[in-house]
Structure 1
């Protein structure tokens, strides 16, 4: 387009759609084709094409990267398929008006923003577009709420992990992973362990797959394991609305136990994370060997090497050395001639080999009940979730209390396989079980270097082991 024989106007094309379910960008491609034809008909050259695919223009929380970049680039003119692709709310219109350029739309004509009348028309059009968007959102929210109350799935989005494209058919492999992940959390393992296991198994979140993301995040795992969907409950905006039409994957008592653990506000309370599950063998167990330091150690990194150290970093003992030494000392203690007899004697005096496991399970259930109450107080779960979860956990706790006579005070031990089975399966035992046995068998002290280079220190220089007596 020439003005009085002037230079050709170089226009910028802007295309956008709010939702691209396939991720193939066909919608924006069609818009671009029509916009290029309009620019050619108007005698304009295309300087740049800006694309915001699968992004809303009405949500304040959503940033349109190419829209922002286009405004910064100071275009001579803007071509779009429809003005509502470019501007849906008044705040964005005013920013376009500040550019002082004209907007040409394939389906809505020309907005002359250089005159008061043209700007008034643009503001009126945008006001009606905003009204239409708000009305559409209100109708959609009502429809979604009614569907949730009737237990019908919300099928407009990406399918949930564990269910098929109809959001109702169980995917066997994914469902098994969800059950396994929930049991791992109940056994004291971390979200990181679950995320690694799901990722290594080649399982992928449908949402992450659509975004071409790699692996599971802790947030993604937690969202799955705490969702009421997996016990057959329909929700709307986080509130349970009733029984769902799709089949459950998890038992309620398992689900609410996981919710109590993962939503406990003390889990990430800052500072010393007393509610957090230990991720290393000796965290909170190993003692600092520096004179006058009563602190235990935690895992950390030092110059790229995983080490243990107390809060004041008196020691930086390589984790590989400390873990290997503590594990071997524990296994040696288990194989000591008098040890099996002492354990069995202790168990028999406490009314059976299963009492320790029952006591540990009862204590864990009580923690989960406390965790549910705290999670509700902090607003992490709803009243209906807390009530249902507490009921399921309390019922299980009453059954255990009825069976439990007393605690043997030792980690769980298979009464059939005995110590031999424990030793043989040591590398594959869950981390919480190995930690419990190390703490039961040994006092582990990690010594400071005292000016020595780490490579010149022997294993005994790094780690001091004292065996505990069973009677302790």
Structure 2
């Protein structure tokens, strides 16, 4: 063993790595370090530093090994590893180690002297065979995974999926209920953000997020769950549906493909009707600017810390709390007005007892979802098999509803059992899209400019004007007591 100067030991760096640490306890790399330290003692090497890349592959191009990179930058005098394939698995990394011109000692594979041409030739040969074996292993693994998917067996090598236990097959009741609720929220027109907040507040983080130390759901994470065919009992391989899975489904196919169509609709964004995006408040894209000559609708924004509505040109800055309260009360008053209730009931009765409004809403949603699936496939978001299966499920439902319908009243969603009374009673807890639809159906809301007045000195009538819609005649008339 070579020594420095008068009896001074040569320093070395220990490098340990495993590709997959299922438990996260780092026991594999600890065992490697123990064996490497024993070899250092046997060779008379002094350990300068131990570099650890736990749970990291050495063959994937997009995977960076932080400690491997740091070790190369530190210019070690020698390297000790458990096996050379823990240090280098591909030629590109070997050449970087060769540039160091140092000895590499391995517990299980002997000594590589990279300072000589012969040693470098041996190292390149060993690495070439390691690369070959790695590629062959990857091919075998891919074939095994594909076969497992075709047979409907779950892929159990990774962290368990949200909604299922560690065996990837047993349903976790609380998580499954959250998935069903999240899908229903999307179908009701709510946003991914709302679902993410719901799941986070319920302390139902995904297992992968917990492992990464995350504290909340991301929009991407929620969308990935709600779009996965796993939850309708479909086995997939690289995004392609391979067949029926051996695990029980959590979602109905009709619900799943409806959600997929909605989430892949390119017109789905995060704002109001005025900008073609999904609203997050009551009057965006519905309320009108009352400034003379302005034909714009309003959107939500902030003004000096107060949430307000205003048009693009900021002619108005109406506090949202005032406008929302007035619009909601006017809508409920319109629903309770005798002639309006009669018109709705008459339209409902024309459907032979079925809810015409509900059926009309369902057919419109189903057509939008069919369009959404086609667009999703065209943009590469889903596979052909997913689009075909989803379209068949939605088309079957659409045909059943259309055969039941004889006409459409053009009414927003209405519970056929609870009727208008239930709509009024449950107004505060209705989904935002439903409340928006009824406000737009019942009234015209105009938000007026301040005209130099201070906001605190303005009354509700100074801020908001309400006009009632006459459904049968498609005319507009003022509500009683309107000062205009």
Bigger shift: residues 150-159 or 394-403: 150-159
Give 3-state SS (helix, strand or coil) of 2:4's partner: coil
Equivalent residue number for residue 159 of structure 2:
158
TM-score when normalising by structure 2: 0.87
- Where do 1:335-374 residues align within 5 Å? 335-336=336-337, 338-348=339-349, 354-374=355-375
Equivalent residue number for residue 239 of structure 1:
240
Q: Which runs of 5+ in 1 are unaligned?
A: none
**Aligned-pair distance for 1:355?**
0.3
Equivalent residue number for residue 477 of structure 2:
none
Aligned partners of 1:307, 1:270: CA distance in 2, in Å? 14
Aligned partners of 1:109, 1:302: CA distance in 2, in Å? 71
- Where do 1:406-417 residues align within 5 Å? 406-417=407-418
Bigger shift: residues 75-84 or 380-389: 75-84
Bigger shift: residues 24-33 or 145-154: 24-33
Equivalent residue number for residue 377 of structure 1:
378
**Aligned-pair distance for 1:364?**
0.5
Give 3-state SS (helix, strand or coil) of 1:267's partner: coil
Deviation readout 1:234-263 (Å, 9 max, x if unpaired)? 111111111222222222222211111112
**Aligned-pair distance for 1:452?**
6.4
Aligned partners of 1:24, 1:222: CA distance in 2, in Å? 31
**Aligned-pair distance for 1:56?**
1.2
Equivalent residue number for residue 260 of structure 2:
259
**Aligned-pair distance for 1:352?**
5.3
Equivalent residue number for residue 391 of structure 1:
392
- Where do 1:16-415 residues align within 5 Å? 16-267=17-268, 276-300=277-301, 306-336=307-337, 338-348=339-349, 354-415=355-416
**Aligned-pair distance for 1:139?**
0.3
**Aligned-pair distance for 1:291?**
4.3
**Aligned-pair distance for 1:39?**
3.4
Aligned partners of 2:177, 2:25: CA distance in 1, in Å? 31
Bigger shift: residues 73-82 or 184-193: 73-82
Give 3-state SS (helix, strand or coil) of 1:265's partner: coil
Distance 1:449 1:11, change over 3 A: farther
**Aligned-pair distance for 1:290?**
4.4
Aligned partners of 1:30, 1:272: CA distance in 2, in Å? 60
Do 1:15 and 1:51's aligned partners in 2 also have CA atoms closer than 8 Å?
yes
Distance 1:10 1:463, change over 3 A: farther
**Aligned-pair distance for 1:13?**
2.7
Aligned partners of 1:392, 1:315: CA distance in 2, in Å? 46
Give 3-state SS (helix, strand or coil) of 1:254's partner: helix
**Aligned-pair distance for 1:317?**
4.4
Distance 1:290 1:231, change over 3 A: same
Deviation readout 1:165-200 (Å, 9 max, x if unpaired)? 222222222222222222222221222222222222
Bigger shift: residues 321-330 or 219-228: 321-330
**Aligned-pair distance for 1:282?**
2.1
- Where do 1:388-467 residues align within 5 Å? 388-447=389-448, 459-467=460-468
Aligned partners of 2:463, 2:202: CA distance in 1, in Å? 37
Aligned partners of 1:460, 1:274: CA distance in 2, in Å? 28
Bigger shift: residues 399-408 or 455-464: 455-464
Aligned partners of 1:311, 1:103: CA distance in 2, in Å? 68
Distance 1:383 1:114, change over 3 A: same
**Aligned-pair distance for 1:398?**
0.9
Give 3-state SS (helix, strand or coil) of 1:405's partner: coil
Do 1:266 and 1:273's aligned partners in 2 also have CA atoms closer than 8 Å?
no
Q: CA RMSD in A?
A: 3.0
Distance 1:391 1:45, change over 3 A: same
Aligned partners of 1:208, 1:31: CA distance in 2, in Å? 29
Deviation readout 1:380-421 (Å, 9 max, x if unpaired)? 222221111111111111111111122222222335434332
Give 3-state SS (helix, strand or coil) of 1:445's partner: strand
**Higher Rg:** 2
Aligned partners of 2:375, 2:42: CA distance in 1, in Å? 65
Do 2:271 and 2:278's aligned partners in 1 also have CA atoms closer than 8 Å?
no
Do 2:150 and 2:235's aligned partners in 1 also have CA atoms closer than 8 Å?
yes
